[in-house]
């Protein structure tokens, strides 16, 4: 299987003990490409460093809604400078997270999301969106920036919202959550959606798929997402993985000659 894990946080402290070894093991486990999105300035910098160190790792830079509390306008300058690196392929992860009660205020989250959508438009980069329990407001921000295209990572919305996003030209990406017992709604979305808009990811170190649920996740487990997609779509796991890989390369504009 040829795999592209389009969302994995190797800049996370969860990999401090074995980051080098685990990333070095990925080509041997069928993982050809990894995209590491930043969550704040520091993790965005670390993601770029990892992309420099490993030829198959790419980065996105951005400020996650849960980490936008100390936001200052000057952060845009720093993100812009980081995004000049040729291996930075998106602005992310950005979005809205209303799930955690101690997250920054909703209006601040929205302001930071808007600002980074504007940055993405200016830079001509796609965005990686995190939407947790904020479906309506998230979609409003997306619609307010029609020139920006992106991917909803770990898609958790309704079939109806999925139809809207696909119509707007967006991609949807799925994690190991699709292997959990309560995944019925995501499976419906996968069944309906066009295969050329789908990407797969781990969101490592979080969300390990069954039967590894509860462990630290890594890109070596992304094949479980490909298997689940394959089952729903009536194709082989290899075909599903290959299609998701090609979609990711096209979406993030990763050229063969930069590999
Ligand atoms: Ni993430």
Q: Is the pLDDT of residue 258 over 60?
A: no
Q: What b/e string do you get for 78-110 counting C-beta neighbours within 10 Å, with b at 16 or more?
A: ebeebbebebbbbbbbbbbbbeeeebbeeeebb
Q: From the CA of 74, how far away is ligand 1's center (Å)?
A: 23
Q: Is the pLDDT of residue 94 over 60?
A: yes
Query: What is the token pair recorded at 48?
Result: 């770029």
Q: From the CA of 97, how far away is ligand 1's center (Å)?
A: 12
Q: From the CA of 186, how far away is ligand 1's center (Å)?
A: 18
Residue 254 pLDDT level (bands cut at 50, 70, 90): very high
Q: Which pLDDT belongs to residue 149?
A: 97
What's the rounded Cα separation, in Å, for the pair 216 and 99? 22
Digit-coded pLDDT (tens) for 109-119: 999 999 999 99
Q: Which pLDDT belongs to residue 230?
A: 98
- CA 168 centroid distance within chain: 18
Please report where in the chains the tokens 């030209």 appear, as a residue: 169
Q: From the CA of 118, how far away is ligand 1's center (Å)?
A: 21
Q: Is the pLDDT of residue 236 over 60?
A: yes
Q: From the CA of 51, how far away is ligand 1's center (Å)?
A: 17
Residue 13 pLDDT level (bands cut at 50, 70, 90): very high
Give the chain's mean pLDDT.
97
Q: Which pLDDT belongs to residue 257?
A: 52
CB 39 within 8 A of CB 67: yes
Q: From the CA of 143, how far away is ligand 1's center (Å)?
A: 22
Q: Which pLDDT belongs to residue 255?
A: 83
- The whole-number average pLDDT for the span 134-162 is 97
Residue 105 pLDDT level (bands cut at 50, 70, 90): very high
Instruction: Give me the domains of the chain, ranges plus CATH numbers.
Output: 3-258 (3.20.20.140)
pTM summary value: 0.96
Query: In this structure, which long-range contacts are made by residues 165-169, counting pairs with CB atoms below 8 Å and at least 24 apart in sequence?
Result: 165/139, 166/193, 166/194, 166/197, 168/142, 168/143
Nearest 10 degrees: Cα torsion 100, 115, 140, 68: 0
Digit-coded pLDDT (tens) for 191-235: 999 999 999 999 999 999 999 999 999 999 999 999 999 999 999
Q: From the CA of 154, how far away is ligand 1's center (Å)?
A: 8
Digit-coded pLDDT (tens) for 51-71: 999 999 999 999 999 999 999
Q: Which pLDDT belongs to residue 256?
A: 65
């Amino acid at each position: 299987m040829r795999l592209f894990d389009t969302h994995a946080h190797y800049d996370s402290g969860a990999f401090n003990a074995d980051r080098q070894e685990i990333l070095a093991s990925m080509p041997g486990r069928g993982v050809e490409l990894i995209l590491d999105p930043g969550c704040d300035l520091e993790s965005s910098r670390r993601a770029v460093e990892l992309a420099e160190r490993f030829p198959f790792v790419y980065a996105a830079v951005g400020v996650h809604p849960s980490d936008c509390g100390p936001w200052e306008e000057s952060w845009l300058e720093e993100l812009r400078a980081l995004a000049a690196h040729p291996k930075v392929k998106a602005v992310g992860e950005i979005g809205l997270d209303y799930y955690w009660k101690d997250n920054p205020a909703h209006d601040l989250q929205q302001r930071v999301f808007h600002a980074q959508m504007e940055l993405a438009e200016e830079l001509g980069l796609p965005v990686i969106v995190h939407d947790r329990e904020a479906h309506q407001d998230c979609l409003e921000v997306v619609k307010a920036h029609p020139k920006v295209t992106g991917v909803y990572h770990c898609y958790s919305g309704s079939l109806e919202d999925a139809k809207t996003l696909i119509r707007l030209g967006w991609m949807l990406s799925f994690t190991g959550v699709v292997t959990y017992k309560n995944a019925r709604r995501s499976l419906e979305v996968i069944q309906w959606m066009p295969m050329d808009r789908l990407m797969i990811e781990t969101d490592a170190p979080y969300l390990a798929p069954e039967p590894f649920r509860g462990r630290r996740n890594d890109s070596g487990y992304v094949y479980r997402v490909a298997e689940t997609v394959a089952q729903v779509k009536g194709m082989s796991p290899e075909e599903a993985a290959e299609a998701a890989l090609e979609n990711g390369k096209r979406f993030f504009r990763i050229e063969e000659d930069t590999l």
